[in-house]
Structure 1
Amino acid sequence: MKRILVVDDDPDILEVFQLTLEEEHYDVLPLLSPRYIFKTIKDFHPDLIILDIMLNGMDGRAVFKELRLDPNTEHIPVILASARFDEQYIATQRYQPDFYLEKPFDMPALIKQVKYLTSKN
C-alpha cells in the first residue's frame, strides 16, 4: 500500500484528504505542523507528500525547499496546495513541485495526480 503524508494546519482539510485517499486504498498520515516533518518522513517512508503552503507559523515553501535540498527527501514527489497562491506564481519559483493544487480543490484531479505520482516510484 502506498503511503501519503499530508501536512496542513487545518484539521478539517486533513480529514477530507485522509478520508478521500483512504477510500482509494492509500495509507495516509495527517500532520498538523511541519515541525517534525523530517522525523515523520524517516519513520513513515511516504511515497508522496501533500504540503500546504500557508501553515500556521511556517512557510510551506521553505519546508518544500528543505525537502528538495535534502538528499534523503529530494526524490519524494510533492504536491503543494494553497488557497492564496495561484499556479502562475508557483511556476515562477526556483523549486517546482510535482503538482500544484489550488484550493478549493478538485478531488478527482487530486486523485488522478496522486495515482500518477505514486505509480512512478
Structure 2
Amino acid sequence: MEFSWSRLGSWLIAAAVGVVYGSAGTVAHAYMLGPVPLGLVLALLGCAALLASIRLLTGDRWSALAAGLGMMAAALVFSGAGPGGSIIVPQSTLGTVWTLALPLVVAVVIAWPTRFAADPR
C-alpha cells in the first residue's frame, strides 16, 4: 500500500462521517419504544451499515477503520460527564450494551475477510 494524499483525504472524511454517526448513536441509543430499545437497535444498525458500505465501496479496510475510530471517539467523548453535570450515556444496561457493542461491530466489519481479492496471496 503506497501513500497518497487522496487516500489520506478519504480517511479523514470517513472519520468525520464516523464521528457524526457515533454522535447520533450515542445520543439516540437510550430511546425506548415501550419495552423495545429502538434507539439502540437503530444506532447499531446505522453504524454497521455505514461501516459495511464504506468497506464495500472503497474496498479499503483503512477507510472503514477511520470511520469506526470516529464513531468510538464520539461515543467516548459523549459518555463522560459534561460541564453542567449532565451525562448522555448513563450507567445502565443500554449504556453498557452501546459502549461494548459499538467496538464489536467495528471489529467485525474491519476483520471480515475480503471476498474478491485482487491478489490472493
Shorter-normalised TM-score: what interval?
under 0.3
More helix by share: 2
TM-score in terms of structure 1 length: 0.27
Larger Rg, first or second structure (1 or 2): 2
TM-score in terms of structure 2 length: 0.27
More strand by share: 1
Q: Which has the higher contact order (CA 8 A, sep 6+)?
A: 2
